[in-house]
Chains A and B, each alone.
Chain A
Amino acid sequence: MRIIVQEAPFDFGAEAEGFASGRHDMGAIVTFTGVVRDFGNGTLDTMEIEHYPGMTQKALDAIADEARTRWSLGDVLVIHRYGRMEPGEKIMMVATAAPHRKDAFEAAEYLMDYLKSRAPFWKKEHAKTGETNWVAAKDEDEDALSRW
């Protein structure tokens, strides 16, 4: 299991390939990547992600540990960036390896739902006009946790 919090960009292709390689007992690999999305008409300059050093790693480890108790998983990878990113840059990825796809898909969704609402990251949009906006958490993100 690798859980990484870093400012630098990551190589999604290399990470996915590295995660998927050399496994002989895992029939399913699921990956998800979150990308900085422009909120319309090219107005977004950068997305800034703040986090709580110290707590972030522990929170991610706990979420991944919980996923491993709930599903039959061979491995889990989480990479989450902080700092400033431009539209199109990859913010984070999760990967799950399982003998069967249902476990791999469900665990990846679980990881994403919990990462969104229970890992100490906060997104701030910087528009090209200079205006800034803290992204508000959505009720549906909180509601998504109740299905688990």
Chain B
Amino acid sequence: MDVLYFAWVRERIGLPKERVSTEAETVADLVAELRAREDRYDLAFSDLTALRVAVDQELTDFDASIKGAREVAFFPPMTGG
């Protein structure tokens, strides 16, 4: 699946998008896998209350299933308007 990062999450991890092969069943499982990779991921995901997630471009929560998902995106709370 594609994993996308926006705003300071993108800056902290250092890339906007990457292809990830994973057996993770939920967003939280995917986060745990990413955090185990490198410090920059661990740092970016250190406070999940400061993050929001969208699965296939729909806002959801960290308990959500990602089975069959094409795209998971992580970003800070939105500041539109």
Q: Which residues of A are in contact with B by a Cβ distance under 8 Å?
A: 34, 50, 52, 54-55, 58-59, 80, 91-92, 112, 115-124, 134-137, 142
Contacts and interface: CB of A to CB of B under 8 A. Distances in A.
Contact of A122 (B57, B58, B75): B75
Interface stretch (B4-12, B28-36, B61-69): B4-12
B44 interface: no
Interface residues of B, number: 16
Contacts, number: 67
Contacts of B7: 50, 122, 124, 134
Interface of B: 4, 6-8, 54, 57-59, 73, 75-81
B78 A117 contact: yes
Give the interface SS of chain A, mostly helix, strand, loop or mixed: mixed
A116 B7 CA distance: 15
B80 A55 contact: no
A55 B79 CA distance: 15
B59 A52 contact: no
25 contacts: A50-B6, A52-B4, A52-B57, A52-B75, A55-B57, A55-B58, A55-B73, A59-B57, A59-B59, A91-B81, A92-B81, A116-B78, A116-B81, A117-B77, A117-B78, A120-B54, A120-B73, A120-B78, A121-B81, A122-B6, A122-B78, A134-B7, A134-B8, A135-B79, A137-B78
Contact of B76 (A92, A119, A122): A122
Nearest to B8: A134
5 A-B pairs with the lowest CB-CB distances in the bound complex, closest first: A137-B77, A121-B80, A122-B7, A55-B57, A116-B81
